[in-house]
Amino acid sequence: MKRELTISCSKTNLLRIRQFVKDVLGDLDIHELEAHKMVLAVDEVCANLIIHSNQCDPSHQIDISIDHPDKEKIIFIIKDQGITFNYNSYVEPDLTDIVSSKRKGGVGLMLVKRIMDKVEFSHDKNCNICRLTKKIDS
Partner 1 sequence: MIEVKKLQRADHTEIQVKGEVDASSSIELDNALQSSLDESKKIIVDLENLEYISSAGLGVFISYLEEIKSKEIKLVLCNMKPKVYDVFKILGLENLMEIVNTKEEAEQALNEA
What is the separation of C-alpha 107 from the centre of its chain, rounded to a whole number of angstroms? 13
- Pick from 16, 114, 123, 135 the residue near partner 1 by CB under 8 A: 114
The piece of 59-67, 79-87, 105-113, 128-136 that touches partner 1 (CB under 8 A) is 105-113
Is the CB of 2 or the CB of 31 nearer to partner 1?
A: 31
- Pick from 32, 57, 92, 94 the residue near partner 1 by CB under 8 A: 32
Site string for partner 1, 39-78 (x = CB under 8 A): xx--xx--x--xx---------------------------
Q: Using CB under 8 A, list all residues that contact partner 1.
A: 11-12, 14-15, 18, 32-33, 36-37, 39-40, 43-44, 47, 50-51, 95, 98-100, 102-108, 110-111, 114-115
